[in-house]
Amino acid sequence: MQILGIDVGGTGIKGAPVDSDTGALLASRLRIPTPELAKPKPVAKIVGELAAHFGWQGLVGCGFPAVVRQGVVYTAANIHKSWIETNVQALFSEAAKCPVHVVNDADAAGLAEMVFGAGKDQKGVVLMVTIGTGLGTVLFTDGKLVPNLELGHIELHGEDAELRATDAARKREKLSWKKWAKRFDFYLTSLEKLLWPDLIILGGGVIKKYEEFAPYLTVKAKVVPAQFLNDAGIVGAALSARP
């Protein structure tokens, strides 16, 4: 089944048609910069532009950087506060002129990895962390998703983890990979003490540099990079919209 997958990120909004039976992108993805402040109407406009670019008339799945329950936004850590209590599903469906199913962006990436990627056929507890503007966290138990897990905001040394351990923090503070990895490792070991996962999957754009920081990770669980790299959000968003 062909479904348009859209991934709304802090710096870019990406989309591509996806074969939901194989996880393959059916066309080159299109990326449009996220509007400054990322308010609802400008973001919805870009969702509409992506649908129009691909001439889309069918189902659309969209990953969104917030807690989303029954189509409504409940948090706004890395987007404008005006999103809170917005029915993002209705807003995007109107903009795209197609039915749009919206889920948490990290949950979308996790679905891609569990169905087709690094977590395929994995039993037990699987934790996925997406590293980018924020820290997205996804938890599966025997393949079943625990939705809207917001463990990117646990406290580390008196600060929100996202202020210290994201790729955005690494760039902002001009940290070496080694210095940043020690911060990120502290974050991962903190999660491990709470969740005791059998497998940890790391995703997000930073995974292109996985070999630069992986040697500094000390968690007991097996750690692997996401196989879909930066396309996981698109593929997983499409999977989330399957009937």
More reliable by pLDDT, 4 or 134 = 4
| Local confidence band at 229 (pLDDT 50, 70, 90 cut-offs) | confident
Torsion of CA 162, 166, 172, 177, to 10 degrees: 140
DSSP state of 87: B
Tell me the C-alpha to C-alpha distance, in Å, between residue 81 and each of 42, 72, 187, 219. 14, 13, 26, 35
Distance (Å, rounded) from C-alpha 37 to C-alpha 8?
Answer: 13
For residue 217, list its beta bridge partners.
Answer: none
**One-letter identity of residue 186:** F
216 is written with which tokens?
């500094």
CA-to-CA distance for 156 and 152, rounded, in angstroms?
10
Render pLDDT for 177-228 as a digit per residue (tens, 0 to 9). Answer: 999 999 999 999 999 999 999 999 999 888 999 999 999 999 999 999 999 8
Q: Which one of 3.40.50.720, 3.30.420.40, 3.30.413.10, 3.30.1360.120 gives the CATH number of domain 121-226?
A: 3.30.420.40
Interval 135-156: pLDDT, tens: 989 999 999 999 999 898 898 8
CATH fold of the domain at 2-108+231-240: Nucleotidyltransferase; domain 5 (3.30.420)
What DSSP string describes 20-32?
TTTTEESS--EEE
Strand 144-146 versus strand 135-141 pairing type: antiparallel
Pairing of strands 135-141, 125-131: antiparallel
Interacting residues of 182 by C-beta distance below 8 A, sequence separation 6+: 216
Residues of the chain with CATH 3.30.420.40: 2-108+231-240, 121-226
Q: Is the pLDDT of residue 77 over 90?
A: no
Q: How far apart are CA 212 and CA 168, in angstroms?
A: 16
